[in-house]
Structure 1
Amino acid sequence: MNELPDFTAVSQQAAALDLASTPAELHGGLCGWLAAGGVDRNDWLAAVLADPALGAPEAGSALDRLRAVTAAQLEDRDFAFELLLSPASASVLERTGALFDWCRGFLGGFGLASGTRPSLSEEGQEALEDMARLAASNSEEFEAGDEDEDALAEIEEFVRVAVLLLHGDCVMAVRHRKSLN
C-alpha cells in the first residue's frame, strides 16, 4: 500500500465528483496540506479544496488511497515520497504542465494549513519561494527535446526534496520539539 494510485484512476474519480482540479493539482494540494502540518483526515478534499460541502472519498477509493499513501510516504524515513504526475507516456509539455499544476496545488494546501507565517528554516523558505516560481511558470516555454526531458526530471526531483524539507520544518521539527519538552 506504499504505491500511489494510478493517475487515470484519480482523474476518473475526480471527474465523477465534478472536481475542477487535475489529479496533479489535487495531489499537490494534499501534499501541501500535510507538509504544513494539516491533519491527515478522511475528508481531506473539504480541507484541501476549502469546500466544506465536499464529503470524504469512499473508503478504499483512488482518492482515499491517494491520501493514505501520501501521508505514509511523507512519514517514511527512507524518503519514498513520490509526486502524482502525468504518466511517462505523456508528452513533455503535458508532464511539465502537470508539474506546474502540482506546485500550484501545493502552495494552496500549504497556505491553508500553515497560515500566514509558517516557521521555516532558511532552506525551507527558499524552497517555498522556488515552488512559487514554478507554480507561476508556463509549460509552453518547454519543447520536446532531450534537454527538456532532463530538465523536467531535475525539477521533479527538486520539488520532491523541497516537499520533504518543508514537511521536516513544519511537522517533524515540531514533533521533535514537543518530544524534548
Structure 2
Amino acid sequence: MQDTINYDEFNRQLIQNKIGITAAEFHGFLSGILAGGNHDESWRPLVSDMLNNGQAIVEPLAEQITRLYQLTKQQFSEDNFEFELLLSHHDLFTQIDDLVGWVNHFLLGIGLAQPKINHLKGDVGEAIYDLRQIVKLGYDESEDQQELGFAFEEIKEYVRITAMLCFDEFNEPDIATTIH
C-alpha cells in the first residue's frame, strides 16, 4: 500500500463516477467514522449510502477508497501523530473551502458513529463545538493573503489535533494480554 493518496487523482475519480463530494469531504467523512470508533466492515455501507445511494462503487474507485480507509486508520493508530487531512494543494481559497468541507463531513461521519455526540462534555465536547464554529467561517478574497494563510494553517492544525483527540476518546487501545 502506498503511504499517500494523490488528492487530484482521487478527486478526478470521484468526479468521473459522478460522486457529488470532493476528495477532502470524503476524507473528512471517513475520518469521522474512524474517529467515532467504527472499525468493523460497517463503514462500507455507510460510504455506499453516502456516495452512491447504497449502490456498489465501481473499481478502481472502490479500491482507492479502501486504500484511503486503511491509510487513515493507520495514521490515526500510530503514536507519532502522523494523521494528516487530505486537502487540495491548489490556491489558498480552494484549501480553505476544502478544510470547511472536510470539517463538515467529519462531523457527519462522527455523528453516525457516535449518535450522542451533541451531549458530550469536557475537552471532546468543546472540540466538537469548535468544529461546528469552524464550518461557519468565511473569508473575503480581498483579505491579506498572508494573514489568511497563517490563520488557515492554525485552524488546519487545530482540526487535525481535534480529529486525533476524538479518535483517542472513542477508540479503545489494543491491549495485549500475556498468559503465563
**1:54 Cα deviation from its structure 2 partner:** 3.9
Equivalent residue for 1:72, pick from 71, 74, 88: 74
Distance in structure 1 (CA, Å) of the matches to 2:32 and 2:139: 21
Q: Is the 8 A contact 1:119 1:169 kept in 2?
A: no
Which residue in the other structure is 1:92 paired with?
92
Q: Which amino acid aligns with 2:171?
A: V
Q: Is the 8 A contact 2:24 2:88 kept in 1?
A: yes
1:134 matched to 2:121? The reply is no
Distance in structure 2 (CA, Å) of the matches to 1:76 and 1:121: 26
Distance in structure 1 (CA, Å) of the matches to 2:162 and 2:50: 19
Bigger Rg over Cα: 2
Distance in structure 1 (CA, Å) of the matches to 2:133 and 2:158: 13
Which residue in the other structure is 2:108 paired with?
108
Which residue in the other structure is 2:9 paired with?
9
Q: Residue 28 of structure 1: SS of its match in structure 2?
A: helix
What pairs with 1:116-127 in structure 2 (closer than 5 Å)?
Answer: 116-117=116-117, 120=120, 122-127=122-127
Q: Is the 8 A contact 1:24 1:85 kept in 2?
A: yes
Distance in structure 2 (CA, Å) of the matches to 1:40 and 1:143: 45
- Higher mean C-alpha displacement, 64-73 vs 116-125: 116-125
Distance in structure 2 (CA, Å) of the matches to 1:140 and 1:170: 36
| TM-score normalised per structure 1 | 0.83
Q: Is the 8 A contact 2:13 2:61 kept in 1?
A: no
**1:121 Cα deviation from its structure 2 partner:** 5.5
Q: Residue 38 of structure 2: SS of its match in structure 1?
A: coil
Which residue in the other structure is 2:158 paired with?
158
Q: Residue 39 of structure 1: SS of its match in structure 2?
A: coil
**1:137 Cα deviation from its structure 2 partner:** 2.2
Q: Residues 50 and 137 (structure 1 numbering): CA distance in 2 closer, same or farther, change over 3 Å?
A: farther
Q: Could you list the per-position Cα deviations for residues 11-35 of structure 1 after superposition, in whole angstroms to 9, with x for gaps in the alignment?
A: 0111122110111100000000110
Q: Which amino acid aligns with 2:98?
A: A
- Aligned residue-pair number: 174
Q: Which amino acid aligns with 1:75?
A: S
What 5-or-longer segments of structure 1 have no aligned partner?
Answer: none
**1:141 Cα deviation from its structure 2 partner:** 6.8
